[in-house]
Amino acid sequence: MKRAFPILAVLTAALLSYGLYAALIVAPTERTMGDVQRIFYYHVPSAWTAFTLFFLNLVASIVYLIRRNPKADALAFAAAEVGVVFCTVVLVTGPIWARPVWGIWWTWDLRLTLTLVLWLIYVSYLMLRRFSSSGQTPVMAAVLAIFGALDVPLVYFSIWFFRTQHPQPVIGGGGSIDPRMLHVLLINWAAFSCFAALVCWSRYHLEVLSREVEETQALESLLGAESSR
Amino acid sequence: MSSSGITRATLTKDLRLEWRSKDAINSMLFFALLVVVIFSFSFDPTAEESRRIAGGLVWVAFLFAAVVALNQTWARELRNQVLDAYRVSPAPANSLFLAKALGNFILVTVLEALMTPLFIVFYNLRALGPAYQLLIVAALGTWALVVNGTFFAAMSVRTRSREIMLPLLLFPISIPALLAMVEATSSILTGEYSARFWIVLLAAYDVVFTMASLFLFELVLQAE
């Protein structure tokens, strides 16, 4: 496993740089939106990656609650943290793209709102992890992850109905995508997924290590207190 | 003792404590009153406008006020290690949870009953739609806030800075419920469209999160 890490790192670097080149030069310019549309190749892969990571967090949380394996908890933590970063990228690139194209920064559209609510839930997840005392954190965080997942379909239906009553947002739904654009999109998606896996992996490793250090320190101070008696 | 007996005993104990001290209900009432007055000042709406925004104002006021009650649900049990005693006792965790949730439900319902006349006075409200539906929305909406609030209060009570942690956990999860309450109330007040979808959504929210809380509460109570 250890040897796979540098290979993944090299692959990620290659994919990311090719992805950037493809997004800026290879991909054709969109007819109506112009060059600003190229943000698409970063915006959409980030969203997919963030959702994948949140799903990974949910799975790891459930595994933790069943098996009580601390490694599952470390993975859940790493996935949530990296997921929030990617979700932030989505929420920042979205308005940058929306402003010149739709003329507005933000609209309470279904996907936008769902992404924002997911982001809020996972930020509260990270806050909970930060503020709770160490022993109880894993269980409470895992429970919160399950609550968040249950919330998603309800958020979806509420906003879906909310929007159908109000004026429709100005989004060109449907339509087909140029195969060259799709190609660039998929390259970037692969690059972002590798990047997320890489960061998640090292974050997970760091988390496991820091827990080991904490345990050793606690043990040492116990032994020290014991011997000084 | 049967589990419903435990629920009843805990609920009576909490209500008696509240009846004698009136700590939570007084602070909630005054807090909600302040919110009503400040909103009324800062928006100064006409009757037509207030019908549109009242749903939002009412529920935001109740949500903030409910947090006051929810925060002290479990804090009371920390003194003298009562919570630890619950943990080691063979009493089922769910009956304790239900007692706490019902207690909060009663508190928030009393608050709503007392505050609603004030809202009507300050905002000149009159429902143009079917007003009886407001009772359904109030009951379902209050339960939606209270069931998750009681659950998250049990989590936040064991974190650092517990008072602030509860809204941080509760508000993001409550977004669909809050949207449903606000939209249902506005649609009943304005009478422009049917509130049925929102009532169904609220009921679904209540069922999902009541089940989830009952299923997971024991884990949270026993978390070491």
Domain ranges for chain A, please list them.
4-28+39-227
Q: Which two tokens stand for residue A72?
A: 């599952």
Total Cβ atoms within 10 A of residue A103: 8
Provide the angle, in degrees to the nearest 10, between the axes of the packed helices B23-43 and B3-21: 70
CB contact under 8 A, A158 and B204: no
The whole-angstrom distance between B8's CA and the closest CA on chain A is: 27
Closest CA in chain B for residue A116: B172
pLDDT at A224 over 50: yes
Total Cβ atoms within 10 A of residue A105: 10
Nearest to B176 among A139, A140, A155 (CB): A155
Q: Are B213 and B151 in contact (CB under 8 A)?
A: yes
Kindly state the average pLDDT of the residues A104-127: 88
**The pLDDT of residue A171:** 44
**The pLDDT of residue B72:** 85
Phi, psi of B159 (to 5 degrees): -110, 170
CB contact under 8 A, B219 and A65: yes
Q: Does B183 touch chain A (CB under 8 A)?
A: yes
Give the predicted TM-score (pTM) of the model.
0.88
Q: Which of residues 98-157 of B touch A (CB under 8 A)?
A: 148, 151, 155
Q: Are B148 and B173 in contact (CB under 8 A)?
A: yes
Residue that has been written with the tokens 């988390």 in this structure = A207
pLDDT band, very low/low/confident/very high, at A121 (cuts 50, 70, 90): very high
Any idea what the Cα angle at residue B29 is, between residues B24 and B213, rounded to 5°?
Answer: 55
Question: Which ranges of chain B have pLDDT less than 70?
Answer: 1, 47, 224
Nearest to B176 among A135, A144, A154 (CB): A154
Q: Which two tokens stand for residue B194?
A: 């049917």
CB contact under 8 A, B176 and A135: no
Q: Return the biggest CA–CA distance within chain B.
A: 57
**The pLDDT of residue B222:** 83
Q: Does B205 touch chain A (CB under 8 A)?
A: yes
Whose CA is closest to B184, among B140, B122, B126?
B140
Mutation to test the A interface, candidates B87, B174, B179, most A Cβ within 10 Å: B179
Q: Does B59 touch chain A (CB under 8 A)?
A: no
Count contacts between A and B (CB, < 8 Å). 90
**The pLDDT of residue A170:** 43
CB contact under 8 A, A154 and B177: yes
Please report residues of A whose CB lies closer than 8 A to that of B173. Answer: 121, 124, 147-148, 151
Whose CA is closest to B175, among A116, A172, A34?
A116
Mutation to test the B interface, candidates A113, A123, A132, most B Cβ within 10 Å: A132
Q: Does B180 touch chain A (CB under 8 A)?
A: yes
ipTM over 0.90: no
Please report residues of B whose CB lies closer than 8 A to that of A150. Answer: 208-209, 212
Q: Which of residues 101-160 of A touch B (CB under 8 A)?
A: 117, 120-121, 123-124, 127-128, 131-133, 135-136, 139-140, 143-144, 146-148, 150-151, 154-155, 157-159
Nearest to B220 among A124, A135, A143 (CB): A143
Task: Report the C-alpha gap between A170 and B93 in whole angstroms.
Answer: 50
Q: Return the biggest CA–CA distance within chain A.
A: 79
Please report residues of B whose CB lies closer than 8 A to that of A161. Answer: 197-198, 201
pLDDT at A57 over 50: yes
Total Cβ atoms within 10 A of residue A132: 22
pLDDT at A169 over 70: no
Q: Does B158 touch chain A (CB under 8 A)?
A: yes
Please report residues of B whose CB lies closer than 8 A to that of A139. Answer: 219-220, 223
Q: Are B56 and B135 in contact (CB under 8 A)?
A: no
| Beta bridge partner(s), residue B159 | A132
Query: Which region holds residue B125: left if phi is over 0, alpha if psi is between -120 and 50, else beta?
Result: beta
pLDDT per position as a tens digit, A131-162? 887 678 889 999 999 999 999 888 888 888 77
Closest CA in chain B for residue A135: B224
The whole-angstrom distance between B152's CA and the closest CA on chain A is: 9
Q: Which two tokens stand for residue A154?
A: 């309800």
Q: Which residue has the higher pLDDT, A49 or A133?
A: A49
Kindly state the average pLDDT of the residues A21-28: 83
**The pLDDT of residue A78:** 94
